[in-house]
Copies of this chain bind each other. A is one copy, B any other.
Amino acid sequence: MIPGDGIGQEVVAQGLKVLSAALPQDVKLETRSYDLGARRWHATGETLPDADLESLKNHDAILLGAIGDPSVPSGVLERGLLLKLRFAFDHYVNLRPSKLFPNTPTPLAGRPDIDFVVVREGTEGPYTGNGGSLRTGTPAEVATEVSVNTAYGVERVVRDAYERADARPRKKLTLVHKNNVLVHAGHLWKNIFDRVGQEYPEVTTDYLHVDAATIFFVTQPERFDVIVTDNLFGDILTDLAAAVTGGIGLAASGNINPSGAFPSMFEPVHGSAPDIAGTGKADPTATVLSVALLLQHLGYEAEAARIETSVAQDLAERAGDTPRTTDEIGDALAARVSG
């Protein structure tokens, strides 16, 4: 566990509670909590020391709360800890399901039927940290950010997305990019998408520019089944997806290394929300759903499904306006899962 900053601590505690409740009796759960994030950085200047990184490799999976705090310069913890983990452990599949559960609020009129999953590339694109700044802080400054895309990196994530689409009833895969402007990266993605598609004759494919995709997210989200896209477009689209499916309090994600060479990492899509940290207002549901993804990844399909069903029931049956604390929601979910 890397609880991290702000509400990260609180939601990870609930995730662990539900994880314990879900696991079969004969499975022994061993956890270790890593003190990483703003506190550690302020105390020692470290974001993710080699010793921690090495030690993390020994776990079956990582549950992360949230990283980031206003007291730390923007980018330090994001690049030095969260993204460092995603890159070091080669989490090339950043999996983000979006489902509008019954009785959850959506800003969309008419409550469309939303159930899609975004396969966001996790180790390339503008997230590589490539780029720099010349004459920083002067009127002659030039700052660059380089999006790096490789056939190797694109093909493996595109293939993963086809596999997922092929395994779903609707078997539909949409590539989102911006190949009319980002022609080099865009053509690489599109060519590989088309070529790999020949191996999946049952999967219907579709291409959308990222700007057009945002339109469909709010006007016709039911059209999507599986979406594959680059790291940055995936970042933007999955926050929007979360917004239309009940908010980021419900959005789960998995940073997956399908080869198993390194542990995969599961985390809510939301941030550390320092404004509500410690108030008991944080909704741990996104973390609990991330625990379901974790179990699924480790082969505990039935346990993962039980968590998902419990969340759906909890949301369906919750009384309209009565606010519950982080702890109460965690308890309610754990009770449903074990009982």
Q: Which residues of A contact B (CB under 8 A)?
A: 68, 74-75, 78-79, 83, 106-110, 126-127, 131-133, 135-152, 155, 178-188, 190-191, 210-212, 214-215, 217-219, 232, 235-240, 242-244, 247-248
Contacts and interface: CB of A to CB of B under 8 A. Distances in A.
12 contacts: A68-B180, A78-B181, A107-B110, A108-B218, A126-B147, A131-B146, A141-B151, A142-B150, A142-B151, A143-B150, A144-B146, A236-B236
Contact of A184 (B109, B131, B151, B217): B131
A190 B79 CA distance: 17
Nearest to A177: B74
A79 B180 CA distance: 8
Contacts of A212: 239
Residue among A75, A210, A236, A242 facing the most chain B CB atoms (10 A cut-off): A236
A75 B180 contact: yes
A207 B143 CA distance: 19
A180 B147 CA distance: 16
Residue among A106, A135, A144 facing the most chain B CB atoms (10 A cut-off): A144
A185 B137 CA distance: 12
Contact of A235 (B108, B141, B211): B211
A184 B132 contact: yes
Contacts of A214: 214, 236-237, 239-240, 243
A144 B140 contact: no
B126 A79 contact: no
A131 B75 CA distance: 24
